[in-house]
């Protein structure tokens, strides 16, 4: 049972906790109110630690410029306990919004990361320029060029081979969150690789089981070449696939380009 300062009973469901959350009896808990239900004419207050608003409140607590409104948080996307991306903007040219949020040697962001059980937090400068926003949101990867299909809200991002896995990120979180933050479906290509030369993974549905294709897509691999540019070790580490399965998939995909 959780009680607030006025002894109201609060509920923090498991579904609203960060996966690695663990609380001891008597410990103070930080969370936001996600909703209030009425049961038998008494209010039931539901808390959340996974809502983007929780991260926003933490920034307000740790960064005075956010609390005072000198820095605005434009967008927040999260994979609770894994990674978050926060786009910030300042209307005062003298304030570096990213620097202010991170703090000297990470002093301000460190407290937030600790509260979120070591969730990685990327703070980026917001911009209305979609190309620049996509580039910033895929940090730490360095992008060579971006082609945007505004009508279908898709972006083809070209990177040097050693930057591809950085763009996708562990478990595909980096590219997935970048897509949510920018509102674009992001396709990653090795620099110099033309879209027309690649083949969508769905084309292999007759040869590769659907659940295997889903596993690969979950880590940001939508095309044959995006899978082939990763090593067997990387694919095994990032997905729930066995090494034997990965070898078989790579064999099928390679035969497409021979």
Q: Which pLDDT tens digit goes with each residue over 99-132?
A: 999 999 999 999 999 999 999 999 999 999 999 9
The pLDDT of residue 256 is 83
Length of the chain: 258
Provide the pLDDT for residue 190: 80
What domains lie within the chain, and their CATH numbers?
A: 2-48 (no CATH), 198-256 (1.10.150)
Spatial distance between the Cα atoms of 10 and 6, rounded to a whole number of angstroms: 11
**Above 90 in pLDDT, residue 37?**
no
Residues 6+ apart with CB under 8 A from 227: 201, 216, 221, 235, 249, 250, 253
């Amino acid at each position: 049972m959780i009680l607030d300062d006025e002894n109201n009973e609060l509920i923090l469901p498991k579904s609203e906790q960060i996966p690695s959350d663990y609380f001891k009896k008597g410990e103070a808990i930080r969370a936001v109110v996600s909703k209030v239900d009425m049961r038998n004419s008494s209010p039931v207050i539901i808390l959340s630690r996974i809502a983007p608003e929780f991260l926003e409140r933490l920034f307000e607590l740790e960064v005075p410029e956010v609390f005072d409104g000198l820095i605005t948080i434009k967008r927040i996307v999260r994979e609770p306990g894994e990674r978050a991306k926060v786009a910030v903007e300042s209307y005062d040219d003298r304030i570096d919004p990213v620097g202010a949020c991170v703090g000297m040697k990470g002093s301000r962001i460190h407290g937030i990361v600790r509260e979120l059980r070591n969730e990685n937090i990327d703070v980026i400068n917001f911009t209305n320029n979609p190309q620049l926003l996509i580039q910033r949101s895929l940090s730490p990867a360095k992008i060579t060029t971006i082609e945007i299909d505004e009508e279908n809200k898709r972006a083809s991002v070209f990177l040097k081979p050693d930057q591809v896995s950085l763009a996708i990120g562990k478990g595909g979180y980096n590219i997935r969150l970048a897509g949510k933050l920018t509102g674009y479906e992001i396709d990653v290509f090795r620099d110099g690789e033309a879209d027309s030369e690649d083949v969508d993974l769905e084309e292999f549905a007759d040869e590769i089981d659907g659940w295997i294709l889903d596993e690969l897509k979950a880590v940001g691999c939508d095309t044959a070449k995006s899978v082939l540019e990763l090593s067997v070790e990387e694919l095994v580490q990032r997905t729930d696939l066995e090494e034997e399965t990965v070898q078989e998939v790579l064999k099928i995909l390679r035969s497409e380009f021979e």
